[in-house]
Structure 1
């Protein structure tokens, strides 16, 4: 430990370091970083010292992988024109949304915000995001997006954000395991019934203990995914907004999970789940599970940690032949928070971030599915068979925006799901209770 005492030279060095640090901190804007965060200083009333409009852009992408990509796109935009400067600020995922709402309420929001795709209606209805209708009509940007994604940004038929990226769940499977079990590695099961038979051939046991599991829907997927797949792409609400939590197909999906747990033994499944940890220890990558459900950018973990893993990717099975290989997607939108002082300039950045060049770059670097159709079908991206499969799978991928009248409905469904899984309730009793709880929530909100 350094002792300060009478050593004036040491004090001088320390004071110099502290002063340098204070200057750097002041210039960085606190949460901003890199070239995007230091693009302009001394701005007044949203203008830089050379008269450019300064826009504040908030995201939670602060990892070593994603933050440089975010800031490269910001820097590219800043260099693409001479009227606007965008400054990127990073805030932790756990804080950014409440921080943004507080800023909107205080009348001092960021100019641009990356936000959740499933909650656009909530923000639009509460005047937390700007109506983009006039900008969309002028710029004709609607046709650049996948229709399923475009529908998520509409409130009362008008857009309040632009889709940015999305994902889709597919089945990853170990081809070498298929070969060893005498199965065709190029032929993945097309129905859940077929999958059951295949999975049983892939299981390995040492006495009563499983050393290898072919497949369990409790591994990185659950009833919330399967219920939509079993029900021909319908989520927990019908086309009229009526809850259908206890529909027969939902009960079938839950029973499928219970039957799988009965065959394998819940204790065996739990023992495998207890070992889930780092990416290197993922049970599929580690060779302990043959079939794994995940978003398709799971491929990047296989690429980085799955030493020579011989794998394939396929759509989710369907409940019955020709009922549909439906999957679920999520994602994010880019929007202008209500109260932004420069919405015209902010929309220029929204256009840039959702155009072909920026979207292609994002997809190449992150292996995300992007909202721009042309970028998604970029020939270089399509050379990767997993990426091509993911884009193809978007045709059967359903988005599940939170209903305006029941934004927290899933918090009423999940406890009943858990009670069923624990054997505390029958499938039908649990789903009937969840149905009643969601109906009550809707009634209270209306």
Structure 2
């Protein structure tokens, strides 16, 4: 499901996270308490001023932990893991609350704003900065230093997203990364070498044309490749072409020539199919229960690592390969993800207990269990790169792409800029808007937002 929800996720919670800036003392938790030999005690009631105080006590303490796993295998796994944690820490009782993904972000933001948030919360990595800046979550530096906790165990791109000013405000849970999936059977049918996927944009466009199959009505029976399918976006192609949409000072650079080249390439590939044929194909694809790649309707697609899990489950006999996303100037892909954050509930004792749970959930052993159940790309490299997982060449290639991955920039003046950019792309691909004009208009819009934001500061 993750590959379909990241853009929705950021659109829903970028604004909601701003509500969490005034979290007060924690209220009564509504979650289920897993069985534990510990008794309940809400803690010492001591307060802090935003930095975690790493002085755990020996008296029993009860903490709450919220996450997005409300049912299914991951909910069962999380409950089992928490029971194991409490056996190891008999002085800590964990009240667990798993909330449906679509309801989670509103409930979490509302609870934090009202002072009744959990002690430890799963949250969206891309918006951590807003919560760190407002003081809604704790700086973990003192805990990390006290325990000599090694943050280098995590993928660098992920731990970097945990930083704000000189502090680390969370630990990454799991992430994803985008790669090119290609159908080897379709390659053979098109007289293409199934062991040589396209490496650059020219080859990708050439292969796409050879792999496309039309029916008697001149409509698409199997599409070779479309930039409108899967999880490919303009910013990623622009990065691969040496472009970018924001400079180091947070100023927009939408109209850079490298960005225009990327958008023009997307339009050129899409125009080969025509609006009518693509519309008909999209209607068929939307009716499928799975990705059009799994259904054999797309010969190549850029998508997240979770597609591999779906292939193994729904199309185990599919003969396919994975490869880096074709590029022009430099390898590029992008990631999104979740992390765990200690909510600033002004209680040192509960914060210290939450830190113990945070360490446990991100440990190699626990992260390996999570991967085994969900197939997700966990953040701890010792787990993600465990020999038993890396023996799979598909997984090895997927993990290797984290070296080239980036997160979408968080821009306070325009937190949903990437979602708006997707709309710009759609206007070019589907409505015939000129690419250069589209980016020029987007540049002006971004400049206006930045100007308005500066005036409000």
TM-score interval w.r.t. the shorter chain? Answer: 0.7 to 0.9
Partner of 2:184: 175
- Classify 1:63/1:124 alpha carbon distance in 2 versus 1 (closer, same or farther; 3 Å): same
Asked which structure has the greater RCO (Cα within 8 Å, sep 6+), the reply is 2
Query: Following superposition of structure 1 onto structure 2, how do residues 38-117 of structure 1 map, counting pairs within 5 Å?
Result: 38-39=35-36, 43-46=40-43, 52-117=60-125
Partner of 1:439: 447
Q: 2:313 aligned with 1:304, yes or no?
A: yes
The structure having more radius of gyration, on CA atoms, is 1
Once residues 353 and 401 of structure 1 are traced to their aligned partners in structure 2, the CA distance between those partners, rounded to angstroms, is 27
Pick aligned residue for 2:372 from 354, 364, 367: 364
What is the Cα deviation at residue 349 of structure 1? 0.8
Could you tell me whether the CA contact under 8 Å between 1:214 and 1:290 is conserved in 2?
A: yes
What is the Cα deviation at residue 405 of structure 1? 3.6
User: Gaps spanning 5+ residues in structure 1: where?
Assistant: 1-28
Could you tell me whether the CA contact under 8 Å between 1:31 and 1:91 is conserved in 2?
A: no
Could you tell me whether the CA contact under 8 Å between 1:225 and 1:327 is conserved in 2?
A: no
Report the more deviating stretch, 414-423 or 326-335.
Answer: 414-423
Partner of 2:331: 325
Pick aligned residue for 1:138 from 140, 146, 158: 146
What is the Cα deviation at residue 97 of structure 1? 2.2
What is the Cα deviation at residue 280 of structure 1? 4.5
Deviation digits for residues 208-253 of structure 1 (CA, Å, limit 9, x no counterpart): 2221111111111343354344334x64212332222221121112
The SS at the match of 2:117 is coil
Question: How many residues are matched?
Answer: 409
Once residues 104 and 203 of structure 2 are traced to their aligned partners in structure 1, the CA distance between those partners, rounded to angstroms, is 44
The SS at the match of 2:72 is coil
Partner of 1:264: 273
Partner of 2:12: none
Partner of 2:25: none
What is the Cα deviation at residue 40 of structure 1? 7.5
User: Gaps spanning 5+ residues in structure 2: where?
Assistant: 1-28, 45-57
What is the Cα deviation at residue 409 of structure 1? 2.4
Once residues 84 and 285 of structure 2 are traced to their aligned partners in structure 1, the CA distance between those partners, rounded to angstroms, is 39
Once residues 70 and 199 of structure 2 are traced to their aligned partners in structure 1, the CA distance between those partners, rounded to angstroms, is 39
What is the Cα deviation at residue 65 of structure 1? 2.6
Once residues 302 and 234 of structure 2 are traced to their aligned partners in structure 1, the CA distance between those partners, rounded to angstroms, is 13
Partner of 1:221: 231
Could you tell me whether the CA contact under 8 Å between 2:384 and 2:399 is conserved in 1?
A: yes
Q: Please, what is the CA RMSD of the aligned residues?
A: 2.2
Partner of 2:424: 416
The SS at the match of 1:79 is helix
Partner of 2:357: 349
Deviation digits for residues 53-81 of structure 1 (CA, Å, limit 9, x no counterpart): 11110011123132112222212211222
Deviation digits for residues 191-221 of structure 1 (CA, Å, limit 9, x no counterpart): 0111111111111122422211111111113
Deviation digits for residues 319-354 of structure 1 (CA, Å, limit 9, x no counterpart): 2xxx22210100111001122531111111111111
Deviation digits for residues 353-393 of structure 1 (CA, Å, limit 9, x no counterpart): 11111111112221111111211210011122222111111
Q: TM-score when scaled to structure 2? A: 0.84
- Classify 1:168/1:347 alpha carbon distance in 2 versus 1 (closer, same or farther; 3 Å): same
Once residues 300 and 116 of structure 1 are traced to their aligned partners in structure 2, the CA distance between those partners, rounded to angstroms, is 22
Could you tell me whether the CA contact under 8 Å between 1:121 and 1:155 is conserved in 2?
A: yes
- Classify 1:295/1:411 alpha carbon distance in 2 versus 1 (closer, same or farther; 3 Å): closer
- Classify 1:45/1:55 alpha carbon distance in 2 versus 1 (closer, same or farther; 3 Å): closer
Q: 2:283 aligned with 1:274, yes or no?
A: yes
Report the more deviating stretch, 325-334 or 414-423.
Answer: 414-423
Query: Following superposition of structure 1 onto structure 2, how do residues 327-406 of structure 1 map, counting pairs within 5 Å?
Result: 327-339=333-345, 341=347, 342-406=350-414
Once residues 337 and 279 of structure 1 are traced to their aligned partners in structure 2, the CA distance between those partners, rounded to angstroms, is 41
Q: TM-score when scaled to structure 1? A: 0.86
Once residues 34 and 284 of structure 2 are traced to their aligned partners in structure 1, the CA distance between those partners, rounded to angstroms, is 40
Once residues 297 and 109 of structure 2 are traced to their aligned partners in structure 1, the CA distance between those partners, rounded to angstroms, is 44
